[in-house]
Amino acid sequence: MGAGGVWLCATGDQRRNQRLVNIAEHLAASPGGTLPQAFPHWAELKAAYRFFGQRGVTFERILTPHLERTRQACRQPGEYLLIEDTTLLDYSRHAATENLGVIGDGAGRGFERHRALAVRVEAWTLAQRPEGTLVGLFEQSCRTPRPAPVGETRGERLSRPRQSQTWAAGIKSAGRPPVASRWIYVADRESDIYETLRLCQAHGVDFVIRAARTGAWPRRPGI
């Protein structure tokens, strides 16, 4: 399905949909560039800036149709890798930018972009390496982390949104895969937490997670 099919109902307005498709095509042709590089003509660049400034254009409305399409494709018979990780978008040098979060070691300012990429496994090599086809984004979110309040109690900490809740969140919202479809969750050591493991088990999803701790866990006497 082309870009028009992916973004058809994203903004609720046909003209904005067409503008979104145009922006997506230009950015896809220059994924490592900036908006001015993607739109060398001032009129198109101005239209892109105007598009992102409209009230009806939000991160969720743009992304939701694509996520739904990807998850539906992953429900077809086959084997799928759900590869998840976090990227830090660092805007520490942009002192005038507002509403940024605290990232890295606490001194950086920016966003945390968390995403899960779905890949359909077409074959396995003799070295047991998967060869696959990209399906699309299975989940993506942007966070602006804030420092924990001074004197926060354990109950208060558990009641507010936490970074650990972003791991495998797409599996939670997508539900269990069909019997003929096998999902394999793949993530780095940051997701080696109980919440993630329990979520995968509850939804019938296999997982390969890099261990955050090496060696044996401490054992209690008598175990």
pLDDT at 11: 59
Looking at 40-49, 102-111, 141-150, which range is the least confident one?
141-150
Query: Is the pLDDT reported for residue 146 higher than 70?
Result: yes
| CB-CB neighbours of 111 under 10 Å | 19
Which among 46-50, 77-81, 96-100, 151-155 has the top mean pLDDT?
Answer: 77-81
Report the alpha-carbon distance of residue 118 to residue 132 in Å, rounded. 10
| Band (162; pLDDT cuts 50, 70, 90) | low
pLDDT at 6: 44
With beta carbons less than 8 A apart as the criterion, state whether 84 and 187 touch. Answer: yes
What's the average model confidence in pLDDT over 38-51?
A: 90
| Band (215; pLDDT cuts 50, 70, 90) | low
Nearest CA among 178, 222, 183 for reference residue 205: 183
Q: In this structure, which long-range contacts are made by residues 99-102, counting pairs with CB atoms below 8 Å and at least 24 apart in sequence?
A: 99/144, 100/144, 101/143, 101/144, 101/145, 101/146, 102/145, 102/146, 102/147
Say which residue, 75 or 3, is predicted with more confidence.
Answer: 75
Report the alpha-carbon distance of residue 85 to residue 210 in Å, rounded. 12
With beta carbons less than 8 A apart as the criterion, state whether 137 and 118 touch. Answer: yes
What's the average model confidence in pLDDT over 83-107?
A: 85
pLDDT tens-digit profile of 114-143? 899 999 999 999 888 899 999 999 999 888
Q: Classify residue 44 by burial, with Cβ atoms within 10 Å: 0-12, 13-18, 19+.
A: middle
| Band (34; pLDDT cuts 50, 70, 90) | confident
Nearest CA among 91, 136, 86 for reference residue 113: 86
Query: Is the pLDDT reported for residue 206 higher than 80?
Result: yes
pLDDT tens-digit profile of 45-89? 999 898 888 877 888 888 888 899 999 999 999 999 999 998 888
Query: Is the pLDDT reported for residue 220 higher than 50?
Result: no
| Band (156; pLDDT cuts 50, 70, 90) | low
With beta carbons less than 8 A apart as the criterion, state whether 111 and 89 touch. Answer: yes
Nearest CA among 17, 140, 38 for reference residue 89: 140
Strands of 46-93 (E only): list them.
78-90
Say which residue, 2 or 191, is predicted with more confidence.
Answer: 191
Domains within the chain, CATH numbers bracketed: 1-57 (1.10.246.40), 58-209 (3.90.350.10)
